[in-house]
A = this chain, B = another copy of it.
């Protein structure tokens, strides 16, 4: 049953922020483009073979969680107390089912836990040890909290503690991708928002969205941002759009940013581009919000707006070459 003639597409983001103060070599920039492209290819193939949007976004976010370049899963930032607290969410636009976990530190791939909450519980959101107990009960891979740590992120925490301030994301000069030390990153890591996400349209016309984060360096223990909150950092509804956000989480929560894109389309008759652009360029800045979002609608339109200087992003329609970008 095909309700859409649109071409299936996957879009991803790896955080938004300002341009790096350091000059970045072409090699360093290429590392990020390569990472984004590597993440786009498997879900693109999955969609081409008739896979679901839900599976495509889960797969993309799992890969982003596994990549230490991005602040989610392995390579997550540290809290003030030197611990990790990860959040993730997923939503199926076909039936508005959703699942999420927050403040977890032992689940290797938080997005899989979010998916399990959606599929194997009556609930939508579990937090803390209860979320971990649930994930363990359904057989997900558990790790010691040290799994998420990297030397680069630990150094960031030390610098943040020394500077005695909360960094909204990670401030790392030396990030490691694979075994290759990186001495710079394209976006200024002290003013970048560390979230990853994916949205997709499949051949059946179904939309889905998934989002995951390692939080904020030096944040207070127990703080939860927009990532695991359905409607704030993540939303999907076949009738309107699938949306994944990244930015100053609190403003996205107050604006209910992801759902606001859908509401403007549903009730105001706006296009995906109008709705996404107004949320990112008008509604969020009115609250002091910085960041961006990725969105796709049932016609296969893709919109990747951000009000910061850059956002790690990319998309791939089936049968086409993946597109990746960092700056405007």
Contacts and interface: CB of A to CB of B under 8 A. Distances in A.
A252 to B, nearest CB: 10
Interface residues of A, number: 46
Contacts of A122: 166, 250
A254 B98 contact: yes
Interface string A222-263: 111100011110010000000000000110011110011001
Interface centre among A98, A129, A130, A263 (most CB of B within 10 A): A130
Contact of A130 (B91, B134, B223): B223
B123 A103 contact: no
Interface in A254-275: 254-256, 259-260, 263-264, 266-268, 270
Contacts of A124: 249-250, 253-254
Main secondary structure of the interface of A (DSSP, over half): mixed
B128 A128 contact: yes
Nearest to A229: B229
A127 B98 contact: no
Q: How many copies does the complex hold?
A: 2
Contacts of A223: 123, 125-126, 130
B250 A123 contact: yes
B253 A98 contact: yes
B259 A222 contact: no
Contacts of A220: 121, 123, 126, 130, 134
A9 interface: no
Contacts of A224: 102, 125-127
22 contacts: A103-B127, A122-B250, A123-B223, A124-B250, A125-B225, A125-B229, A126-B220, A127-B127, A127-B222, A130-B220, A133-B222, A134-B220, A229-B230, A229-B231, A230-B232, A260-B263, A263-B263, A263-B264, A263-B267, A267-B267, A267-B268, A267-B270
Given A126-B222, A259-B259, A267-B268, 15 more contacts: A125-B253, A126-B220, A127-B224, A128-B222, A229-B230, A229-B232, A230-B232, A231-B253, A256-B259, A259-B260, A260-B263, A263-B264, A264-B267, A267-B267, A267-B270
The 8 nearest A-B residue pairs measured at CB: A130-B222, A267-B268, A263-B263, A231-B256, A267-B267, A130-B221, A256-B259, A125-B224
